Structure formats: C-alpha cells, structure tokens
A and B are shown apart, each in its own frame.
Chain A
Amino acid sequence: MRRALRHSGRTLAFAALIFWSLFPVYWALKTSLSTNAASQQAPVQFFPYHPTFVAYQALFGAGPESAAAAGGISQALVNVVVEASGATVLTLVIAVLAAYAFARLRFRLKGLIFYATIATLTLPVYATLIPLYRIMANLGLVDTYVGIIFVYTSGFLPLALWIMYNVFLSLPAGMEEAARIDGASTMQTFVRVVLPTARPGIAATAIVTFLFGWGQFIFPLVLSSSSSTEPLTVLLAAIDSRNVPYTIINAAAIVAVAIPAVIVFFLNRWIVTGITAGSVK
C-alpha cells in the first residue's frame, strides 16, 4: 500500500515535471498553428483542431497578414546564425589553444593570467555593457557582425577556457609523453594526439557556446542599430511590442525555439557534460 502510494507519487512528480518543462513551448506552438479567431476564444482551446500555417506564411512575408509582421525575420535568422556560429568558432579556437597551454605547458605569469581570466566569469553584464558600447562606437564596429562577434567572444571565453582546461587536465598525460619521446614537437603532439582525444570536450563546449550566442539579447540590443545585424531575439522583442497578431508573434517565437530544441533533443548528452563541467568542476 505504502509502496503503491510512493510509486504513484513519483509518477505524479514526473508528470508535473514534464508539464512544467514543455507546456509553455506547446502553448506557443499551438497558438502559432491556430487562426487568429481560434487563438482568442474563451475559454481557451487546448488543442489546435484546425491547424493552419497562415501565421508562418505571414511571418515570412506571404499571405494577407504579412504587412503587420513587417518582415525581417529571414534577415534576423541569417544574422543570428552568422553571429552565434562566428562567436562559437572564434571562442573555441582561442579557448582550446590557451587551455592547452594552461593545462600542460610551463611559462611565466601562468597562474595570474589564468585566474584573471576565470575571475571575469563572476563579472555581471553591468560591469562591461556601457564601456563595450562606447569602445565599439569609437572603433566604428557598432552594427557590424565583427563588433557583435568580438563582444560575444569576450563574454564566452572564460567559461569555454574553464571547460577545456578541465578536459585537458583529465586526459592521461602518458600518450603525450609517448608522442614526445617518439620525437614529436609540442605543436605536433597537440594537433595529432591531444585534439582528437579531446573531441568530446570540444563538442560540448561548442554546443553550449552556440546556445549562448543564439540567446543573446542585451548586447545586440545595444550594439545593432539596424535590421542588417539584428538577431532573432531583438526582432522578436520588437515584434512583440508592435500591434501584431498573437499567432504571428508565437510563430516567430517557435522559429527561435526550433534550433535550440533540435540541439537539445539530439545532442543533450554534450550539453549536460558542458554544463556540469562548467559549473560543478
């Protein structure tokens, strides 16, 4: 009896957990597939009985309601892909090189530089937002991909460095020693022996960094002044404050949800590795 009770309690807890995690996304999806009239019924309909893609067509500039959405989503999608992947590649190259030097090589001021970099992890957005805007304005990099990618990279580097440093430390040193004894230089050892072994760690760092880049909001809000560099998040906030039908707003939200959702469902193992390596270790 007691056991049955506990079992059903557990099932209930799982149901609540799944509902809590998925319902908001389901609700946006359901709304995006409804007609305007269906989305405004009271009491609400919990299922899209007559699903339609009208909202998506309007969002991407077709159909009668497209004028209200004012377009721009295709450009915003291109922008966020360029900015998030650009920052991921740059962050990874810089962090992997530096993390290996910190983990395996000896040089002066190593401890100081390492801890100064890791310490910037604790800096909140406040500490750098205004000066970064002014620096980028002085350099003429406001509203450019380069400016946004550089700012993202400076923000993502400390965590990527921390994860990769721990990855390199956890690799057995024996293989590298063997390669060196066989006459390989440090760089050859790094490229031929270390990098292939560290691939899972690199993948985890890349995925977590890309997701950070995908979700950035306040920096591009400040740094991109036109639709030519505006990522999806900034466009979505703008659409949300305009008088656009809710079906279209939710369709735009689902577009922004789609890529992270696909990444989570297929690559979650790496995300979990990345998050736990980054915060627990």
Chain B
Amino acid sequence: MRGRAAGETEDLHHAAARPLPLEPQARRRRWERPGPRGQSATRRDGYLPYAMIAPLVVFIGALAIYPTVLTVVEAFFHIDPLSPPDHFVGFGNFSAVFSNPQVRQSFANTGWYVLFGVALTVCLGTGIGLLLQRPFRGRGVILAIVVLPWALPGVVEGVIWSWIYNPTFGVVNSVLKSLHLIGQYQLFIGTRQVESILLIALVQAWQITPLAALIVLAALQSIPDELYESASVDGASWHRTVRSVTIPLIRPALAIATVEALVMSLNIFDQVYVLNANATTASSIMSTTYFITFQNLNFGQGYALSLLATVATVLLSVGVVKVLYRKVEYR
C-alpha cells in the first residue's frame, strides 16, 4: 500500500527534477537489440537473479512472513509454558483479552497516544518544514540540529525526559514553580491519565517530528518557484499562498507523514516502558502485550492482542492514505 502510494510520488519527482534520458542513446539501444527486451535479458542473466535475491527471500520468508503467519494462527491457541499442553481455543484468547480491564484501558490509552502523537508530529513537522523551505546560510547546521532527536534511541529519550519531568528535582517543576504557575512540585506522570499520556506522547513526538519535517521539506522543495511567483503577482498574502498553493501540493507528503506518525504512535513502547513502567495509567497496547506475554507468560493472549493491533495498524494506515493521499500533477 505504502509502496504504491510512494511510487506515484516518485514519478512526480522524476518529472520535476530529472532531465529526460538522452534521445540518441535510447534510440541506439532499441536499434541494436531486436526483440523484446525481457527475452534477451533472461537469456543473458540465467540463474544469476535468483542467486542475488536468495538471501533476501530466506530472511524475509523465515523471519518476517513466517512469524506473521504464526501470529495469525497461534492467536487461536492456548499457549502458556507454565500450563502445557498447547491446544486450540477458537476465539478464547480474544474474549479473555477483551474482558481484561487492563487491556481495555490500554486500548483507550493508545487512542490518546495516536491522537496526540499524530497531531503534534504533523503540525510541528509541517511548521519546521515551512521554516526551512527557503535556502539560507547555516541551513545545514540547523538541519543537523533538527535531525538529532530522530537519531537517538527511544529509551535514551525516555530516560532524559524522565529526569526533566522528575517530581522532586525536575527542571519543569523548578521553572513552573519559579513562574508561580504551580504552588508545589508535581508528580506529572502516573496520576492523571490524559496528562501522563500527553507528556509521554510529547517525548515520542520529539523523536519522530524530524521525520515528518524532512518528508514535508522534500515535498516543499519540489514545488516549482513559478507557482509562488504567480501567487505573489496575483497579490496573495503569505497565509493565502500557504493555504491555496503549498498545502494542496504537499498533500501526498502530509499523508505519508501522518501514516508514519500513526504507525509509530500505535506502536509506542520504549518511552512508555521507561516513563510509565508497568502501571496501567498510561499503558499502551504494546506495553500491555509485552507484560502479558513476557512477564505473565500468557503467549496465547499476547498473540491475540498482537493480531488485533496488527490488523488495526494496517487498516488505519490504508484508510489514512485513501482519505489524504491524492496524486499531484503540475501543469
């Protein structure tokens, strides 16, 4: 799904940025080789292509596709190393999962994570993209500063921010108290559900916003200058130009940034693991799956939860692309 959507954008980039292949060369190729290109290539390449893709097929087959099939199948089995044997239970794991209040809370929490994560990432990313659109001295350095949080491990970010949010020595508490916005130091994470989730989502947004910013920036830079020139000749304000020229033209990029943010916030784990541990207050589906599977060793329920989350992720991504993605053509 993402592949196809992406392919279309690629055509656009080629059309906009790359010169057409040299005419004589193309002609010579066709003239020198009679018959369809595929035939002669097959004869020439023989078994070589199969040898070149064999390692890929083995890895993807054995360690990506086979495990996914296992998840689908084993979600319908009772699998628990502590109470063997494994046996078929139909939808038993699913009903057990749905009747578990901790799981239900993690569903609601993940809804909040997605809402905050997508909103923060796409808005901040678009803003940063617009800010960096025009070339200026030092843009390379600013770009490196912007990319830095993306390059850091999620766990490290969780650790750094947990110290920032610290209830007894944290800088947020200190600043808020100095500004008289709070009377005494607060416990920010762990008491109130939505507040805890927002603060953890902010840490993830800090990590993934650069990705959205770069995606938007790449799209912005492929917009031809003439469009801006004619907008300014027509006397359009900055605001009007952004709304009528920029946003429609970066729609495909916004769709991709939204899907990336959606998938990552549906999968949020590292930051939750560090900042929320195994409390239910701000648990995510991923953290709940981890604790059910690897601490309670209830593999069957872990599988059921994984399958539900996988299906939800794929369906939501396809849905977002369907709604937001439109092919853009310059005329």
Which one, A51-59, A64-72, A151-159, A191-199, is touching chain B? A151-159
Q: Is the CB of B74 within 8 A of A131?
A: yes
Instruction: Scan A117-145; emit 1 where CB is below 8 A from any B CB, else 0.
Output: 11111111111111111110000000000
Interface status of B84 (Cβ within 8 A of chain A)? no
**A245-275 toward B: CB 8 Å interface, digit per residue (1/0)?**
0100110110011001101110011011001
Complex CA distance for A86 and B299, rounded to whole angstroms: 30
Complex contacts, B180 vs chain A, CB 8 Å: none
Binds A, one of B6-14, B96-104, B191-199, B228-236: B6-14
* Nearest opposing residue in chain B for A215, CB measure: B153
Residues facing B in A85-135 (CB within 8 A) are: 93-95, 97-98, 100-102, 105-107, 110, 113, 115-135
**Cα–Cα, bound, A53→B240 (Å):** 54
Produce 1/0 per residue, B158-184, CB < 8 A to A. Answer: 111111101011010011011000000
**C-alpha spacing A154/B223, complex, angstroms:** 36
Q: What distance in Å separates the Cβ of A167 from its nearest Cβ neighbour in chain B? A: 12
Q: Does A60 contact B (CB under 8 A)?
A: no
Q: Which of B229-275 contact A (CB under 8 A)?
A: 253, 256, 260, 263, 266-267, 269-270, 273-274
Q: How far is the CB of B307 from chain A (nearest CB, A)?
A: 8
Q: Which residues of A contact B178 (CB under 8 A)?
A: 43
B302: CB under 8 A from chain A? yes
Does B151 reach chain A (CB closer than 8 Å)?
A: yes
B49 close to A105 (CB less than 8 A)? yes
Say yes or no: B273 contacts A94, CB within 8 Å: no
Q: Which residues on the A side are within 8 Å of B53 (C-beta)? A: 97-98, 101-102, 107, 113
Instruction: Verify A95–B56 contact, CB threshold 8 A.
Output: yes
Given A107-B50, A120-B64, A186-B45: A237 and B155 within 8 A (CB)? yes
**Out of B44, B144, B154, B171, which one reaches A44, CB within 8 Å?**
B171
A265–B59 CA distance with the chains assembled, in angstroms: 33
Q: A16-40: which residues lie under 8 A (CB-CB) from chain B? A: 17-18, 20-22, 24-25, 27-28, 31, 39-40
Contact bitstring B299-331, A, C-beta under 8 A = 1, else 0:
100110111011001100100000000000000
**In whole angstroms, what is the CA distance A214 to B70 when docked?**
28
Q: How far is the CA of A170 from the CA of B13 in the complex (A)?
A: 11
Interface check B71, CB cutoff 8 A: yes
For residue A161, CB closer than 8 A to chain B, the reply is yes
Chain B residues within 8 Å of A253, by CB: 156, 159-160
- Please, how many angstroms separate the alpha-carbon atoms of A181 and B222 in the complex? 36
Interface SS majority for chain B: helix
What is the bound-complex CA distance between A246 and B171, given in angstroms? 13
The verdict on A228 contacting chain B, using a C-beta distance below 8 Å, is: no
B 124-167 contacts with A by CB, 8 A = 127-128, 131, 140, 142-164, 166
Are A214 and B153 touching (Cβ within 8 A)?
Answer: yes
**Within the assembled complex, what's the spacing in Å between the Cα atoms of A240 and B158?**
10
Quick one: given A97-B55, A246-B163, are A18 and B314 in contact (CB under 8 Å)? no
Q: Are B274 and A240 in contact, CB atoms less than 8 angstroms apart?
A: yes
At the interface, yes or no: A4 with Cβ under 8 Å from chain B? no
Q: Are B68 and A127 in contact (CB under 8 A)?
A: yes
Pick the contact of B214 from A126, A221, A252, A275 — CB < 8 Å?
A275
Contact A101 B52 (CB under 8 A): yes
Note all chain B residues with C-beta closer than 8 A to A13. 127, 131
Chain A interface residue number, banded: 35 or more
- Residue in chain A with minimal CB distance to B10: A281
Whether A122 contacts B63 by the Cβ 8 Å rule is no
Is B41 an interface residue when CB atoms closer than 8 A count as contact? yes
B57 within 8 Å of A by Cβ?
yes
CB of A183 within 8 Å of the partner chain:
no
Least distance between A254 CB and chain B CB atoms (Å): 9
Q: Across the interface, which residues of A come within 8 angstroms of B64, CB to CB?
A: 120, 123, 128, 154-155, 157-158
Q: Min CB distance, A156 to chain B, in Å?
A: 10
The answer to whether B152 touches A135, judged by C-beta atoms less than 8 angstroms apart, is no
Query: Residue B38 at the A interface, CB < 8 A?
Result: yes
Contacts of B22 in A (CB 8 A): 174
A42: Cβ under 8 A from any B Cβ: yes
Contact between A249 and B159, CB atoms less than 8 A apart = yes
A211 to B313, CA, bound (A): 24
Interfacial residues of chain B within 186-221, with CB under 8 A of chain A in the complex: 206, 211, 214-215, 218-219
- Contact yes or no, B63 A132, CB < 8 A: yes
Partner of B65 from A39, A43, A120, A265 at Cβ < 8 Å: A120
Residues of A with C-beta under 8 A to B299: 130, 134
Q: Is A241 an interface residue (CB 8 A)?
A: yes
What residues of chain A lie closer than 8 Å to B44, measured between beta carbons?
186
- Whether A153 touches B148, Cβ cut-off 8 Å, given contacts A105-B45, A127-B306, is no
Whether B63 lies near A151 (C-beta < 8 A) is: yes
Q: Are B70 and A122 in contact (CB under 8 A)?
A: no
Selected A-B contacts with CB under 8 Å, 16 pairs: A14-B131, A97-B55, A116-B60, A119-B3, A126-B267, A126-B310, A128-B63, A133-B294, A135-B66, A157-B64, A177-B29, A241-B277, A246-B163, A256-B153, A265-B144, A275-B215
- Other than the given A119-B3, A135-B67, A253-B160, 10 more pairs (CB < 8 A) read A24-B164, A120-B68, A122-B313, A124-B263, A128-B67, A130-B293, A130-B299, A150-B59, A158-B60, A250-B160
